[in-house]
Amino acid sequence: MYSSHKGGALVKIEVTINGEHQSHEVEPRMLLVHFLREVVGLTGTHVGCETSLCGACSVMLNGEAVKACTVLAVQAHGADITTIEGLAQNGELHPIQEGFWECHGLQCGFCTPGMIIAAHQLLERHPKPSEADIRRGIEGNLCRCTGYQHIVDAVQYAAAKMTA
């Protein structure tokens, strides 16, 4: 299915990332996750599988959690993006981050940024989730270390704190 073509003319995109306006020229084939890490320099968003399965690359795109390895940077033109770096405010951890800290929601930490973004989406849609809701909410995110239980605990901690 190869066709001979040059293609790939650079495209200018404007995005707001963690509240900051940014403008860059990118190749159309650049994945959003590579844009965030390599162009913008925000390496908190991880690349795990690059095949849409592990969720390590999750970020909020216009208020919705997405796998940034399965979105082109050019598709994000005009969007508002929140990455893991954008959750803490004024040096204070976000309640979900605090939950992961308090409940040992991580071991190696590789999956953690994506897990926290998935949890963020869940708590926005379901402020008081059941344990089953939490497990369903992080279904798109794999963790090879924790066995998930402490992650569930961490999300429960955050839910309690955020609705208190």
Partner 1 sequence: MIPFDYHAPKTLQKAMRLVREHGDDASVLAGGHSLIPLMKLRFAAPAVVIDLGGIGGLKKVTAGHETITIGALATHYAVESHRLLPGKCRLLPETASEIGDVQVRNRGTVGGSIAHADPAADWPAAMLALNAQFDIAGPSGERAVAASDFFVGLFTTALQAGEVLTRIRIATPPENSGGAYVKMRQSASGFALAGVAAQVALDSAGNCASVAVGVTGVASVAYRAHAVEDALRGRGLDAIAEAAAHAADGVEEFQEDHHASADYRAHLARVFAQRALTRAFERAT
Query: Which residues contact ligand FES by CB under 6 A?
Result: 47-50, 52-57, 67, 69, 106-111, 143-146
Q: Which is nearer to ligand FES, 20 or 79 (CB)?
A: 79
Is residue 139 within the footprint of partner 1 (CB under 8 A)? yes
49 binds, among ligand FAD, ligand FES, partner 1, none (CB under 5 to 8 A by kind): ligand FES
Shortest Cβ 20–ligand FAD spacing (Å): 29
Positions in 60-119 near ligand FAD (CB under 6 A): 70
Sheet holding 11-17, edge to edge: 20-26, 11-17, 80-82, 58-61, 64-67
- CA–CA distances in Å: residue 31 to residues 45, 80, 114, 136, 141: 12, 16, 16, 26, 19
Is residue 53 within the footprint of ligand FAD (CB under 6 A)? yes
Q: How are beta strands 80-82 and 11-17 bridged, if at all?
A: parallel
> Which residues here bind ligand FAD, judged by CB under 6 A?
52-53, 70
